Amino acid sequence: SFCCLSSSRLPKFAEPHLLSLPSSVASRALVVPSASMQYDKELAAATKAVSLAASLCQKSQKELLRSDVHSKLDRTPVTVADYGSQAIVSIVLERELSAEPLSLVAEEDSGDLRKDSGEDTLHRITKLVNETIENDGSYGASLLSPEDVCRAIDSGKSEGGSFGRHWVLDPIDGTKGFLRGDQYAVALALLDDGKVALGVLACPNLPLASIAGNVTQENVVGCLFYAKVGSGTFMQSLDGSSPVKVHVSDIGNSEDASLFESYEEAHSMQDLTSSIARKLGVKAPPVRIDSQVKYGALSRGDGAIYLRFPHKGYREKIWDHAAGCIVVTEAGGVVTNAAGQPLDFSKGRYLDLDTGIIATNQKLMPSLLKAVRESLEERSSSL
């Protein structure tokens, strides 16, 4: 048994105001959307897509079989839920925004599913996707074939870039956390001319109440964060409570800051992050969480600093940061590379970045940058 989002429980957003105007007004060609209306339609579609994908992941996480997990060429795991989530988001965006051509930059592709060895897996994914769409009820009863599902997944092959609109998706960010039964996120963002215009982050296992200090009494889990450029960041429960505006921590003394980093030791140079923490005088041990859930938790002030320093040679992908980045910046935070420059999402599927990513509030950024610079210098002189 599982609990699925019915469409009536899905978050509702105001439709663009144009739709409620008399047709004589609506049809005037020169109605320029105000800043507050801009991207409303896209945000509503993104929220629906991510909520449905999250319900697919929740169902799958409960029922996961050994045979549902595979290894990709880069030796990272992928599950039926990663593929299913990507198919759902692609299908919902396509149906909700059919007036515009869809460009989607997403992590997975159907290559392995189209091989003979992938047939079984593809059937399980198709079943999951159809059940999720059927449960939602807003798209009638037409069943998708395995080929439809492969095609939906492969619409994520766009290269992105600095012109026009591109959706950016990580269908499951933190697959290793997902497999452990821990934290993971469904992360969707929209780039407009190379800049992040909106982001939606579903965190199905994140408690609604703060996880500051790595403890929580709260047993209600499942958060949805969303942010639109210039409009702040909001959080609601995944099953549709009314949204609350969130803000990053206002701590100004780094000794009191708590610090997030990857759960997976292999994803980050923890000797470097502990050197940075020592320089800042941070007293609390680091809180280790998988995926962009760290950005969500940071945006509501559960911690004050996020450090990410992958090992040499690892290339960061845009879908691992675009949604999280706008969720934090619209909540008043700052996200930069190790040198303090903003992240550049306009260079294609990868972030053009060689050292690391740091996020914190405005007050702590100067001392954080100094600690990062000193730790990196010490490290390079000792190598």
Rule CB under 6 A: say whether 296 interacts with ligand A2P: no
Shortest distance, position 267 Cβ to ligand A2P, whole Å: 3
DSSP line for 131-199: HHHHHH-TTTTPPPPHHHHHHHHHTTB----SSSEEEEEEEEE-HHHHHHTS--EEEEEEEETTEEEEE
Catalytic site positions: 82, 175
Closest CB to ligand A2P among 78 and 149? 78
Q: Which of 38, 291, 337, 360 binds ligand A2P (CB under 6 A)?
A: 291
DSSP 319: G
Q: Which of 136, 154, 170, 290 binds Mg ion (CB under 5 A)?
A: 170
Closest CB to ligand A2P among 110 and 262? 262
Rule CB under 6 A: say whether 310 interacts with ligand A2P: yes
Stretch that binds ligand A2P, among 95-103, 207-215, 264-272, 367-375 (CB under 6 A): 264-272
Shortest distance, position 180 Cβ to ligand A2P, whole Å: 11
Query: Pairing state of beta strands 221-228 and 233-237?
Result: antiparallel
Rule CB under 5 A: say whether 173 interacts with Mg ion: yes
Contact criterion met (CB below 8 Å) for 194 and 108: no
Stretch that binds ligand A2P, among 89-97, 131-139, 142-150, 169-177 (CB under 6 A): 169-177
Single-letter code of the amino acid located at 3: C
Shortest distance, position 275 Cβ to Mg ion, whole Å: 26
- Alpha carbon distance 43, 317 (integer Å): 22
Contact criterion met (CB below 8 Å) for 157 and 109: yes
> Quick one: the chain helix, strand, coil %, rounded to 5?
40, 20, 40
Query: Pairing state of beta strands 233-237 and 165-173?
Result: unpaired
Binds 154: which of Mg ion, ligand A2P, none (CB < 5-8 Å by kind): none
Rule CB under 6 A: say whether 108 interacts with ligand A2P: no
Binds 264: which of ligand A2P, Mg ion, none (CB < 5-8 Å by kind): ligand A2P
Q: Where are the beta strands (DSSP E) in the chain?
A: 69-71, 77-79, 104-106, 165-173, 185-192, 195-207, 221-228, 233-237, 244-246, 259-261, 287-288, 305-308, 333-337, 357-361
How many residues in the chain? 383
Q: Give me the residues that bind Mg ion (CB under 5 A), please.
A: 76, 107, 170, 172-173, 175, 320
The annotation places the binding site for Mg(2+) at: 107, 170, 172-173, 320
Q: Give me the residues that bind ligand A2P (CB under 6 A), please.
A: 76, 107, 170, 173-175, 262-264, 266-267, 290-291, 310, 314, 320
The annotation places the binding site at: 107, 170, 172-173, 320
